[in-house]
A and B are shown apart, each in its own frame.
Chain A
Amino acid sequence: SQKIEQNSEALNIQEGKTATLTCNYTNYSPAYLQWYRQDPGRGPVFLLLIRENEKEKRKERLKVTFDTTLKQSLFHITASQPADSATYLCAHPGTGGSYIPTFGRGTSLIVHP
């Protein structure tokens, strides 16, 4: 079965720096991957979807890449702010019409002022 792996260790960075989070998957390459943000006590919030034929996608200060050779997606936040502190989840929404979404455990990002 498909597995999504994210770094379980928290990422600590200084305000203004670029945060880079990693999502690796096993087995087959999905048609797309999704990234979510989750704040404590809240449900995940959808941020971006990137398709396998898209090398890169941007939304404001966010950038996502998708490398099917490495079986990896990178999530970047440029000019990070303390308000960006949260847990970021990667998700593979299933393929072949069987929409069985698999989420990674998420990586906690802490941006220090």
Chain B
Amino acid sequence: DAGVIQSPRHEVTEMGQEVTLRCKPISGHDYLFWYRQTMMRGLELLIYFNNNVPIDDSGMPEDRFSAKMPNASFSTLKIQPSEPRDSAVYFCASSPTPGQGEGYTFGSGTRLTVV
């Protein structure tokens, strides 16, 4: 397996534009997580899915953020409209049922810069 695949690796956009981040989890992993990492706040959980169903989105900053998982092999995180404070590295991670001895497998992240 190629691991968790995220695209794009880098995204520079202007304030007010829509941004869509994409993630392909590892096949067979039932859980998918979206994180945001900044120097100030560290790694923050935004939302997670179990079997394609959103379970907890309490970490989503506000209504400008939305996430979907239409099938087991694809998820998106959308920001509309984007703001400079959204600039961060966004990670997608997947795992089998947690606690079974395996940790989360992270993608390489998308570095988002909103100017």
Contact = CB atoms under 8 A, between A and B. Distances in A.
Interface of A: 31-32, 34, 36, 41-47, 49, 89, 91, 93-94, 98-106
Give the size range of B's interface with the partner: 20 to 34
Contacts of B93: 43
A103 to B, nearest CB: 4
B19 to A, nearest CB: 19
B43 A44 contact: yes
B43 A89 contact: yes
Interface of B: 4, 31, 33, 42-43, 45, 48, 50, 55-56, 91, 93, 98-99, 101-109
Contact of A101 (B4, B33, B101, B109): B33
Residue picked from B4, B43, B56, B106, most chain A C-beta under 10 Å: B43
Contacts of A49: 101-103
